[in-house]
Amino acid sequence: MMIPPFDVASCRLPEDMEILLLGETGSTNDEARALGKSGAREGTVVVAERQTSGRGRRGAAWVCPAGEALAFSILLRPPEPKPLWPRLALAAGLAVAEALDSFGVEAGVKWPNDVWVRSRKICGILVEADADFVVIGVGINVNTGAFPENLEDIATSLFIETGATHLREDVLSGVLFRLGVRRRQIGADFPDLLRSLSERCVLTGKRISLLTAAGRKEGLMEGFAPGGELWIRTEAGQETIIQADEVRILS
C-alpha cells in the first residue's frame, strides 16, 4: 500500500489554527506542551509523520507507524474556568466521531475519550492541562491494514472499515473543523454538546463495568449528569461516576 506523505499545503484549516509538521517525535503532546510553555498561540497543531513514544490514558503506549496513523496534538488556551477544561475530552471525542462520518463509517463515542466503529477502537484521546493551556492529543487509525494479534479484535481503522486509503490531511481537516465548533460548547452551551454526545455514546443503555477510585462498579448506563459525568444504575441505586480508569461493556 502506497501511502503519500502528509501534505500541509492541501490541509484546510480553521482560521485560528496552524500546523507544525514533524517528521518524527517521541510524543506530539510533549511537543505541544513545550510550545505552550514557550508562549505559542492558541490553535497550534503539532502533527507527526512518526511518533515513537505516544501514550494514552494511564500511560498506555500508543504506536503510530509512519504514514498509517494520524497523530496530532492541539494547543488551546480556553477562556472558560479551569474546572470546565476536562469537558474538552468529551468535545474532542464527539468532534472526531462526527468528522469520521464523512469518510463512510458510523462512529460512536466510548466515554470518556475513545471513538469506536463496530465495537472496535479507531481513535484515542488524551487531554493534559497546564497552568494556562490545554493540550488535546489525538491518535486516529487511518490507513492501518492490520494490527498485532493482541489488538486485531479490539482495534480498527478507516482502511479496514472502508477498503480504501484516505489522505490524513483530509481526516485532520475534518476533525479540526468539528472541534472548532465543539470546543466552544464546554461552557453555557454544554447541554447541547451532551445531547449530541448522548446520541453517539456506545455505553447508553448498556450494562457496564467501571474501575473507579472507590473500586469496581457495575451497572446500567442511564445517561449523563449535567457536568458530563456518567449516571449508572447499580444495586444501590443511581450513582454518578466522575472518572474511571477502565470502562467495559458487559451486555
Torsion sign over Cα 78, 84, 86, 88: negative
CATH of domain 8-200: 3.30.930.10
The rounded distance, in Å, linking the Cα atoms of 131 and 188 is 22
User: CB–CB of 108/192 below 8 Å?
Assistant: no
- CB-CB contact of 192 with 31 (8 Å): no
pLDDT in tens, 147-161: 989 888 999 999 999
Do 219 and 233 form a contact (C-beta atoms < 8 A)? yes
Q: Which residue has the cell 471513538?
A: 115
Which residues are within 8 A (CB) of 123 and not within 5 positions of it... i.e. 6 or more apart? 93, 96, 100, 107, 114, 115, 138, 139, 140, 141
Which residue stretches of the chain have pLDDT < 50?
none
Alpha carbons 55 and 156: distance in angstroms, whole number: 18
Q: Sign of torsion, CA 75 78 82 84?
A: negative
For the chain, the domains span: 8-200, 207-249
Grid coordinates representing 162 are 472502508
Tell the CATH topology of 207-249.
Answer: SH3 type barrels. (2.30.30)
Residues 6+ apart with CB under 8 A from 179: 74, 91, 92, 95, 96, 136
Per-residue burial over 139-153, b if 16 or more Cβ lie within 10 Å, else e, is bbbbbbeebeeeeee
Which residue in the block uniquely carries the three cell numbers 464546554? 186
Selection from 93, 97, 168 nearest residue 136 by Cα: 93
pLDDT value, residue 65: 64
Buried-exposed string 204-225: b where 16+ CB fall within 10 A, e elsewhere: beeebebeeeeeebebbbeebe
